[in-house]
Amino acid sequence: MNTQKSQNAFKEAKKVIPGGVDSPVRAFKSVGGTPIFIEKGEGAYLQDIDGNKYIDFLQSWGPLIFGHCDQDIEKAVIKAVQKGLSFGAPTTVETELAKEICELFDDIDKIRFVSSGTEAVMSAIRLARGYTRRDDIVKFEGCYHGHSDSLLVQAGSGAVTFGSPSSPGVPADFTKHTLLAKYNDIKSVEKCFQNSNNIACVIIEPIAGNMGLIPAEEEFLQSLRELCNKNGTLLIFDEVMSGFRASIKGSRKFTKVNPDIVTFGKVIGGGMPVGAFASSAKIMNELSPDGPIYQAGTLSGNPVAMNAGLASIKKIKNNPRIYDELEKKAIKLTEGFKEYAKDNDITLQTSVRGSMFSFFFNENPVKNFDDALKSDTKMFASFHSKMLQNGVYFACSQFETNFISTVIDNNTIENVLNISKKIFNELKNGR
């Protein structure tokens, strides 16, 4: 496979863009080689600037549930663009999309749109702090909630669970109010509450997607809900990735636990930049201009993004059974991987939630970030590289999630499995 144009493009990009990319994971550092520069996408496929085609299991990191260049979403975008790109003023399509989302959830009365998942989470935490009049938050190791200062933390030392900055440029004063707990470990959360009586919220990905796909266990979520209720703390579900991806109701198909605030992103924009946070009217009415908690954004509710999102959500609501088919395909793929890995004495752990899936080169089941870190990342990098060379595009990190789109059919799955069979044999023999 010739990728010379991508290699040249990467060299040029590095001259004017830090690392040659606008988001670090795209640099392929964890899998080696040169990132592929994309020219276009169509259906289940990507095409790079060298003309190579790839079966795409990334789908722009999730939002393209109907694949690339879906006709209905494309038409909605073109129609919106013809009326103007942005107004900085209200449009009726914002209300229409808000109604479509809110009517799916009993615990959501109102929603506010923003332009990214990071912005959605940042705003949700501010809302929780303002509503409770408390400062501290609890997050979980391995859960990624965007790159706002309060959330870029690493584990503290000793028994105290307060975090310290994990990136230069983040003042320690910003993260001293962030406590860290272990995913699927309620005792670690209880320790956080023992260390602070000032916890405004606990934020969690109920289906974690940024340490690989790791679902929260139901008993853990139930205990988390009870702990928050007992302490007057709000529970935030970050469903920027899982919202409308794991199911039409995100994580709610897999848990009976309801959060106090939920964040959305990716899929509700149909591929356009968008995010949102939502809650009960009681909590959301604390936001400006109705209440004292300030949050704003010039491009929030951008009409192009809103129309793309509305087209996507309507397609989902018209046929919610697509998730059953997507899950069957994801299971077929991951079970096939496990079978071929086992045939070559390679241990593989897999995880599926609706149209989301991951695979770990790991000896043991993966339930938290510590488990994920024990995965064989070198093996993953080799597998990723070999699959890419054979025209299959997976997320370029062991600690990311992959996605099935409706345009990936069973014949495509079979084709990928046949390729993987050969690759697993090559990995066994060190080729």
66 in a domain, yes or no?
Answer: no
Residue 110 has pLDDT above 60, yes or no: yes
Residues whose CB is less than 8 angstroms from the CB of residue 40 and which lie 6 or more positions away in sequence, other chains included = 46, 47, 68
295 in a domain, yes or no?
Answer: yes
At residue 24 the predicted structure's pLDDT band, cuts being 50, 70 and 90, is confident
Query: Is 266 one of the annotated active-site residues of the chain?
Result: yes
Q: Average pLDDT for residues 253-277, to the nearest whole number? A: 95
387 in a domain, yes or no?
Answer: yes
Residue 118 has pLDDT above 80, yes or no: yes
Output the domain CATH number for residue 265.
Answer: 3.40.640.10
Output the domain CATH number for residue 25.
Answer: 3.90.1150.10
User: Tell me, what's the pLDDT at 164?
Assistant: 57
Residue 299 has pLDDT above 60, yes or no: yes
User: Tell me, what's the pLDDT at 159?
Assistant: 34
Name which residue leads in pLDDT, 155 or 246: 246
Neighbouring C-alpha atoms within 13 Å toward the C-beta of 262:
28
Residue 119 has pLDDT above 80, yes or no: yes
User: Tell me, what's the pLDDT at 163?
Assistant: 54
Give the active site residue among 238, 260, 329, 340.
238
Task: Single out the residue of 55, 44, 39 nearest to residue 3, CA to CA.
Answer: 39
Q: What would you measure as the largest C-alpha separation in the chain, in angstroms?
A: 65
* Same-domain check for residues 177 and 311: yes
Q: Average pLDDT for residues 272-288, to the nearest whole number? A: 97
User: Tell me, what's the pLDDT at 156?
Assistant: 41
* Same-domain check for residues 326 and 222: no
If phi > 0 it is left, if psi is from -120 to 50 it is alpha, else beta; for residue 9 that is alpha
* Same-domain check for residues 41 and 77: no
* Same-domain check for residues 226 and 243: yes
Name which residue leads in pLDDT, 29 or 223: 223
Give the active site residue among 139, 266, 329, 386.
266
* Same-domain check for residues 92 and 239: yes
At residue 332 the predicted structure's pLDDT band, cuts being 50, 70 and 90, is very high
36 in a domain, yes or no?
Answer: yes
* Same-domain check for residues 216 and 132: yes
Per-residue pLDDT tens digits for 41-78: 999 999 999 999 999 999 999 999 999 999 999 999 99
The answer to whether the beta carbons of residues 369 and 141 sit under 8 Å apart is yes
User: Tell me, what's the pLDDT at 167?
Assistant: 75
User: Tell me, what's the pLDDT at 173?
Assistant: 79
* Same-domain check for residues 199 and 234: yes
Per-residue pLDDT tens digits for 132-169: 999 999 999 989 898 887 787 764 433 334 555 677 88
Neighbouring C-alpha atoms within 13 Å toward the C-beta of 194:
10
Query: Is 238 one of the annotated active-site residues of the chain?
Result: yes
Which of 318, 338, 368 is a domain's end point?
318
If one counts the domains in the chain, the total is: 2
Q: CA-to-CA distance for 43 and 48, rounded, in angstroms?
A: 14
User: Tell me, what's the pLDDT at 223?
Assistant: 98
At residue 431 the predicted structure's pLDDT band, cuts being 50, 70 and 90, is low
Helix (H, G, I), strand (E, B) or coil at 168: coil
* Same-domain check for residues 100 and 24: no
* Residue 49 in tokens: 């600037």
Residue 4 has pLDDT above 80, yes or no: yes
Q: Average pLDDT for residues 360-385, to the nearest whole number? A: 95
* Residue 384 in tokens: 């990723």
* Same-domain check for residues 293 and 146: yes
The answer to whether the beta carbons of residues 120 and 266 sit under 8 Å apart is no
> Identity (one letter) of the amino acid at 117?
G
Counting residues of the chain whose pLDDT is more than 70, the rounded percentage is 97
Residue-averaged pLDDT of the chain = 94
Residue with tokens 């924009």: 269
User: Tell me, what's the pLDDT at 165?
Assistant: 63
- How far is the first Cα of the chain from the last one, in angstroms, to the nearest whole number? 17
* Same-domain check for residues 169 and 154: yes
64 in a domain, yes or no?
Answer: no
Per-residue pLDDT tens digits for 386-408: 999 999 999 999 999 999 999 99
* Same-domain check for residues 39 and 180: no
Which of 258, 292, 318 is a domain's end point?
318
Model confidence, pTM: 0.95
* Same-domain check for residues 179 and 224: yes
Could you give the C-alpha distances from 279 to 226, 262, 431, in angstroms and in order? 18, 7, 52
Give the active site residue among 54, 131, 144, 393.
144
Which of 318, 338, 353 is a domain's end point?
318
Q: Average pLDDT for residues 6-12, to the nearest whole number? A: 97
Q: CA-to-CA distance for 385 and 376, rounded, in angstroms?
A: 14
186 in a domain, yes or no?
Answer: yes
80 in a domain, yes or no?
Answer: yes
Residue span of the structural domain in which 78 resides: 72-318
189 in a domain, yes or no?
Answer: yes
Q: Residue 48 burial by CB count (10 A; 0-12/13-18/19+): exposed, middle or buried?
A: buried
Could you give the C-alpha distances from 257 to 42, 88, 149, 200, 384, in angstroms and in order? 38, 36, 28, 19, 36
